[in-house]
């Protein structure tokens, strides 16, 4: 397995119904939709293959019933897959004992769900420190660690508040802090912001991006909202009927949707919110006078104002800060008005 891959699932199935394992083996791990229907079985997750790289935000999205939440629960073995392999740092989680899985979840996995599930009788400090208490960490050490995480998520001063005294956004921050208390190697978030009102949801997305810039976690994030996905994701997997239809960067999904189903997700998203300067670049020419520079990963919507106001192109800089191309006013205008962009 590639050393940069943190979590990999290969041919993963979750079939609901009686004698599902024997059914899967009987059909050589490749049953058709007709086979499932004939046997009165439901394919919640169907032959999914995904590699999730260390340090990336990998978003799994789809409509209700697409299988995304079932898949993330299979990845953490909160529910048992019917077949396949799930490799975590190269080790197959499906071969781990129940006791080993409990230890892996306690020490290496963080989880945040839509419903905060805070313990109402514990303060913010108590809630965040609780996973460490379960691990047997001393009170002094766990409270010290919890206080630093509470500060990290912007709740310093709220340590002694109870959940009922907090807003929805603050409660979700406590849930996030609690999941980070064990310093997980991989972080699962299942629609963590969907219960929040739009303004608080946007603020939590900003907070999430800030945290990731600091922590560099490997993250599996579930959502049904494509705008949320493109704000957060390094890569996105789109699911339908238990299958992964397409995996790609937000740009790739918008520019080259594999199916009409994927195209439906992307059709109402302004391209300026997705396309980046690096994708639009033309060849760099040091003899051309420029007006400034923009990073290669800047989305067009964020740099449009400054580029549009200048008749001179902007230098596009790569990850090392070196020039890799030019971005012109005409190219930006094409994106903003919806003209076809030749890449």
Q: Among residues 204, 210, 170, 212, which one has the least CA distance to residue 187?
A: 212
Fold of 272-336: CBS domain Like (3.90.1280)
The tokens for 78 are: 């909160």
Give the pLDDT confidence score for residue 199 in this predicted structure.
Answer: 83
Count of C-beta atoms within a 10 Å radius of residue 163: 19
What are the pLDDT digits (tens) for 232-262? 999 999 999 999 999 999 989 988 899 999 9
Q: Are 90 and 1 in contact (CB under 8 A)?
A: yes
pLDDT in tens, the chain (343 residues): 455 999 999 999 999 999 999 999 999 999 999 999 999 999 999 999 999 999 999 999 998 899 999 999 999 999 999 999 999 999 999 999 999 999 998 889 988 877 768 899 999 999 999 989 888 889 999 999 999 999 988 899 999 999 999 988 889 889 888 988 888 899 999 988 887 788 888 888 888 898 898 889 999 999 988 889 988 999 999 999 999 999 999 989 988 899 999 998 888 888 888 889 998 888 888 899 999 999 998 999 999 999 989 999 999 999 889 999 999 999 999 888 877 666 6
Give the pLDDT confidence score for residue 342 in this predicted structure.
Answer: 61
Give the pLDDT confidence score for residue 325 in this predicted structure.
Answer: 93
The CATH number of the structural domain formed by 5-270 is 3.40.50.300
> What per-residue string of b and e applies to 287-322 under the rule 16 or more CB within 10 Å gives b?
eeebbeebebebbbbebbeebeeeeebbbbbeeeee
**Residues whose CB is less than 8 angstroms from the CB of residue 271 and which lie 6 or more positions away in sequence, other chains included:** 254, 300, 335, 338, 341
- Alpha-carbon span 330 to 209, nearest angstrom: 31
User: How far from 135 is each of 76, 88, 148, 151, 261, CA to CA, in Å?
Assistant: 18, 21, 18, 22, 45
Which regions of the chain carry the CATH code 3.40.50.300? Answer: 5-270
Which regions of the chain carry the CATH code 3.90.1280.20? Answer: 272-336
């Amino acid at each position: 397995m590639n050393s940069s891959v943190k979590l990999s699932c290969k041919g993963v199935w979750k079939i609901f119904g009686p004698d599902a394992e024997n059914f899967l083996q009987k059909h050589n791990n490749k049953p058709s939709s007709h086979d499932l229907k004939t046997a009165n079985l439901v394919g919640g997750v169907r032959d999914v293959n995904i590699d999730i790289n260390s340090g990336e935000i990998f978003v799994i999205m789809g409509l209700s019933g697409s299988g995304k939440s079932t898949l993330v629960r299979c990845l953490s073995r909160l529910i048992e897959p019917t077949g396949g392999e799930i490799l975590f740092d190269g080790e197959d989680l499906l071969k781990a004992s129940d006791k080993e899985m409990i230890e892996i979840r306690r020490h290496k996995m963080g989880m945040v769900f839509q419903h905060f599930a805070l313990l109402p009788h514990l303060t913010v400090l108590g809630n965040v420190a609780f996973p460490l208490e379960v691990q047997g960490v001393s009170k002094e050490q766990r409270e010290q660690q919890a206080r630093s995480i509470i500060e990290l998520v912007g709740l310093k001063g709220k340590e002694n508040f109870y959940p009922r005294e907090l807003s929805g956004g603050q409660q979700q921050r406590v849930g996030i802090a609690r999941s980070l208390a064990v310093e997980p190697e991989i972080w699962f978030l299942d629609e963590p912001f969907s219960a929040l009102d739009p303004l608080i949801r946007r603020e939590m997305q900003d907070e999430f991006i800030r945290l990731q810039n600091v922590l560099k976690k490997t993250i599996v994030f579930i959502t049904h909202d494509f705008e949320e996905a493109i704000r957060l994701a390094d890569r996105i997997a789109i699911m339908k009927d238990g299958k992964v239809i397409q995996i790609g960067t937000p740009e790739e999904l918008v520019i080259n949707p594999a199916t009409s189903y994927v195209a439906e997700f992307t059709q109402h998203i302004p391209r300026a919110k997705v396309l980046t300067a690096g994708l639009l670049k033309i060849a760099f020419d040091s003899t051309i006078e420029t007006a400034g520079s923009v990073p290669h990963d800047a989305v067009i919507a964020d740099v449009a104002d400054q580029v549009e106001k200048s008749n001179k192109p902007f230098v596009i800089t790569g990850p090392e800060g070196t020039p890799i191309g030019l971005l012109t006013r005409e190219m930006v205008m094409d994106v903003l008005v919806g003209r076809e962009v030749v890449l």
